[in-house]
Structure 1
Amino acid sequence: MFINNANCDIYIGKAAGKHLISDIRNARKSIKIVSPYLSASLVKELIKLKSKKLNIELITSDDIEDFTGDKEKNIHKLIIQNKTPNSFAKKWIAFSLITIFSIIGVLATMLFAFYETEDIRISFGFIAVIILCFVYRFFNKKSKSSKHNYYKYSQLFPFKVYMSPYKSKLSDSFIHSKIYLIDDKIAYLGSLNFTVSGLKNNYETSIRTKESKAIKEIKKEINQLFHHSNLHERDIQLWGAELYEQSSEKNKTIFIKKIV
């Protein structure tokens, strides 16, 4: 993409991100961000804006600051776990409980009958108890082997996390662009990552434009990158299971193709 003779403002230095964060906070309709690196506190800003019904789209890489860190993990809040109980597993559990109560009932009846009659033939009732024990073992085995819950993962707002070439052999491209489109009216391009250090501490460069022709082309470029990039991305289902640490049901989680 090449845009010639576009009017723009230029920001250079440590305060290069001051106007950007101000425009993001004052957005009225939509925010689209392309940034390979993110800070948890700035993701929190996006979560707040989402609560105000803004349309947000995010494109980033798998080098996310709070994914492996020990601090506040706002990235996790972008992935929502949806749990659906497995009705078949519940049935197996119910059958197991019914069988247990049946065994107890048969034994109690046998003891009472023997107490009343002292008839040795009552001991044949143990055949029924043994059969019920095998039935219980079958139902219990089915219950333990069944997935108790099915999990799907959805996104708080649409985002793509593309894989870094030095983390995966599947990709040879790295999303290194920093692009911000606010309300489809204001665009920022430059070296600024959506990080605290990028916006406040680092020596950065950034241009800001409101020119309609440039905005139109930048919007088209973001849409192309979001929907038709052909780059390898993190699977939301696998990543969601990893983030939620389903250790107790590690083998009971099904992974379904992306639903967003």
Structure 2
Amino acid sequence: MGTFYNNAVCDIYIGRSAGAKLIQDIRNAKKNVKIVSPYLSPSLIKELIFLHNKGIEISLITTDEIEDFYGNEKNINKLIIQEQQVDEDAKQSYDSLKNLSGILLFVMIGLAIVLIPLIFFLQQPKFGFGFIAVVLLFLIRNYIVGEIRNKKIYHYTYRQLFPFKVFVSPGQGSGSINKTFIHSKIYLIDDEIAYMGSLNFTAKGVKENYETRIRTTDPNAVHKIVEEVNRLLSDSELAERDVQYWGSQLYSEPIN
């Protein structure tokens, strides 16, 4: 893993607002944007979603250190789409049980309404035995209600809004022997402009932090960078977070 290229022609920037030109180039993309950044901010995820909706092809490589995964504004939810499937046989059984539960409730109430006047107004205590039937109906209905609550009629799968990989950070308990942390910050616009440096795709990195970055349109250099990013996107041996796992962590999954 790795790429070396010598004598590239590039611009160098050091200081605050190192991402101003980068954001401008990303917003002006005509075909595609490819990003490698271990950290992301919600506002910049929105930028990628906006470009995707405009028809720009987006590819993203990040880590499970995503800034807004555990926060209140989880824009990662917009990158992972939940799709719900219905088990039709289970749904039919669920509906039948609900109907039966309603019928039993109606019968219990009706029977109680009949028995109470017979016992108290007609002074016929023997009709009190009828409440044994009410209790039995109650127990049966209570069992059915439990079956309704536990009946699983929905199953869930997840898909990505656009292609992205989330690599597992070392120390996250994945069980992987891989210790490599994807710490690179690489940005490609239309496979013609490349940025590299210390600049994360975060609000602070783009605007506030004292960062370093280079920008190059050198065709040979850009070609080498494109090859490396494409390799990470298509054929990496590093441990990844599975989209189905992440989806199940992000969304609730009611069973019925």
Q: TM-score range by the shorter chain?
A: 0.7 to 0.9
Cα offsets for 1:2-40 (capped at 9, x unmatched): 454564322221254332211101012211111111122
One-letter code aligned to 2:210: N
Instruction: Please tell me whether the aligned partners of residues 216 and 222 of structure 2 are also in contact (alpha carbons under 8 angstroms).
Output: no
Rounded to whole Å, the distance in 2 between the matches of 1:160 and 1:32 is 11
Q: Which runs of 5+ in 2 are unaligned?
A: none
After superposing the two structures, state which structure 1 stretch, 129-138 or 160-169, moved more: 129-138
Cα offsets for 1:156-182 (capped at 9, x unmatched): 222211111033352411111222121
> Aligned to 1:104, what secondary structure does the other structure show?
helix
> Aligned to 1:27, what secondary structure does the other structure show?
coil
Instruction: Please tell me whether the aligned partners of residues 5 and 224 of structure 2 are also in contact (alpha carbons under 8 angstroms).
Output: no
Tell me which of 44, 63, 66 is aligned to 2:65: 63
Identity across matched positions, percent: 45
TM-score of the pair, normalised by structure 1: 0.76
Give the direction of change, closer, same or farther, for the CA distance of 1:56–1:5 in structure 2 (3 Å limit).
same
Cα offsets for 1:107-143 (capped at 9, x unmatched): 556779999x999998886676555444423321211
What pairs with 1:201-240 in structure 2 (closer than 5 Å)?
201-211=209-219, 213-240=220-247
Give the direction of change, closer, same or farther, for the CA distance of 1:91–1:220 in structure 2 (3 Å limit).
farther
Equivalent residues, number: 246
Rounded to whole Å, the distance in 1 between the matches of 2:5 and 2:156 is 49
Query: Please, what is the CA RMSD of the aligned residues?
Result: 3.4
Q: Report the alpha carbon displacement of residue 106 of structure 1 after superposing the two structures with TM.
A: 4.9
Instruction: Please tell me whether the aligned partners of residues 192 and 198 of structure 1 are also in contact (alpha carbons under 8 angstroms).
Output: yes
Give the direction of change, closer, same or farther, for the CA distance of 1:99–1:42 in structure 2 (3 Å limit).
same
Q: Report the alpha carbon displacement of residue 58 of structure 1 after superposing the two structures with TM.
A: 0.8
Tell me which of 173, 194, 206 is aligned to 1:187: 194
Q: Which runs of 5+ in 1 are unaligned?
A: 254-260
> Aligned to 1:73, what secondary structure does the other structure show?
coil
Give the direction of change, closer, same or farther, for the CA distance of 1:224–1:98 in structure 2 (3 Å limit).
farther
TM-score of the pair, normalised by structure 2: 0.77
